[in-house]
Amino acid sequence: MTQHDDGPRPLPSRRALLRAGLAGGAVALGGPALAQLGKTNPANLPPNVADWSKMLGDGVAVRTYGKPAKFESHIGRRDVSWLTASPQSSVSFTPLHEIDGPITPNGLCFERHHAGIAELNPTDYRLMLHGLVDKPLMFTLDDIKRMPRVNRAYFCECAANSGMEWRGAQLNGCQYTHGMVHCVMYTGVPLKVLLQEAGVKPNARWLLLEGGDASAMTRSLPLQKALDDALVAYRMNGEMLYPENGYPVRMVIPGWEANMWVKWLRRIEVGDQPWHTREETSKYTDLLENGRARRFTYVMDAKSVITSPSPQAPVNHKSGFTVLSGVAWSGRGKIARVDVSLDGGRNWRTARLDGPVWDKAIARFYYEFDWNGGELLLQSRAVDETGYVQPTKDELRKVRGVNSIYHNNGIQTWLLHRNGEVENVEVS
């Protein structure tokens, strides 16, 4: 594979880029686009007025709850039920290549279930808080909604996101390689508030979080994290959680692996040591080359991926002005910078972060450039506010081997072909 290096030149001005790029992008009147619309006097509307300009559309009473245009119905989560034991113990992926900005729409947030989507009745919902506390408590949903609440946007990433890539480039599309992440604005009660209300005993060190679904998902959580920034959340992007995301109540453990964000939360027990549940012994541990396993590897380290161009979002023009876009996030804080390489990591340029850059949330980046039409090896590299730099896959493999499924935050490489198609490749 040829690596084209267009060198560490200064970024051209936006005006120059536009002049260069949009000659091919926007079509001047009289060009091909106009021909499609029929010959017109540029000062007036096209004579073949579209149907939608001539007839009344649906009224406001048609839908009390809106949905995307029918022309966007191809956009959706994609599942891999063929790969898993059943669709109830499976995963569906966020279409990262079909969204923009920092926020994931609620309808497109990835799913991972162990016993399907539990259908909880909000009236009968209860959350029990007990164990090493002064006063065990049982909360109704109304109780929880009545408490002081906060609004915070956080990314939620499955520890197994990009897991297939440990053994090389395998999945052709960022939806599949990186789609087990989403980022929404949560509304919830700080877990600290509930714990303060119950009164935590002096020897308390750990919590058990338990889900109400048939898998009774259980994870141990250090008390310190619970007091730091964990939320008992019931809303996402303003509305109540969707069923597949834990309706009516889920845990939000900012920056930590999604398996701990217990959905359909029914019980919190306070104890003095971890419980060593299935999900923190058999699963969600990282088997190293020497046969030992890393455990309690909670934090999702800084990571990024280019969402466009990408295998599912090829380039439709032959050359010229091109917007590269992607997402970056870190479990240790804010994204400080994202670098982009067009030559497989030999040269790096700073991308433009745009929109909110929140703590432990997805940040959106762009890099605008003048594509010469040749092959490129596209990479992005996230740097977080602690100074941590996203490693290459090979750097990760040197330390952790290739036995693991989890915690692959290595740099992703896309090969942009001359015909605009994009392929998942490895570089070394």
By beta-carbon proximity to a second copy, the closer residue of 111 and 165 is 111
Contact call for residue 230 and a second copy (CB under 8 A): no
Contact at 8 Å (CB) between 326 and 339? no
Residues 48-67 that bind a second copy (CB under 8 A): 50, 52-67
Give the residue, chosen from 139, 206, 329, 406, that forms a contact with a second copy under the rule CB under 8 A: 139
Phi-psi region of 334 (alpha: psi -120 to 50; beta: other; left: phi over 0): beta
Residues 32-51 that bind a second copy (CB under 8 A): 33-34, 36-37, 42-43, 45-46, 50
Least CB distance to a second copy at residue 365 (A): 11
Least CB distance to a second copy at residue 100 (A): 4
Comparing CA positions, the residue from 306, 315, 275, 270 lying closest to residue 420 is: 315
Least CB distance to a second copy at residue 346 (A): 26
Residues 198-217 that bind a second copy (CB under 8 A): 212-214, 216
Least CB distance to a second copy at residue 419 (A): 17
DSSP 246-302: TTT-EEE-TTB-GGGS-SSEEEEEEESS----GGGTTSS-EE-TTS-EE----B---
Contact call for residue 266 and a second copy (CB under 8 A): yes
Distances (CA, A) of 189 to 251, 276, 344: 10, 27, 44
Can you tell me the distance from the alpha carbon of 348 to that of 232, in angstroms, rounded to the nearest whole number? 40
Least CB distance to a second copy at residue 405 (A): 18
By beta-carbon proximity to a second copy, the closer residue of 169 and 335 is 335
Residues 369-428 that bind a second copy (CB under 8 A): none
Contact at 8 Å (CB) between 222 and 205? yes
Contact call for residue 111 and a second copy (CB under 8 A): yes
By beta-carbon proximity to a second copy, the closer residue of 60 and 399 is 60
* Angle at 283 (CA atoms; ends 228, 106), nearest 5 degrees: 60
Residues 141-160 that bind a second copy (CB under 8 A): 142-143, 146-153
Residues 288-347 that bind a second copy (CB under 8 A): 316-317, 321-323
Can you tell me the distance from the alpha carbon of 68 to that of 40, in angstroms, rounded to the nearest whole number? 32
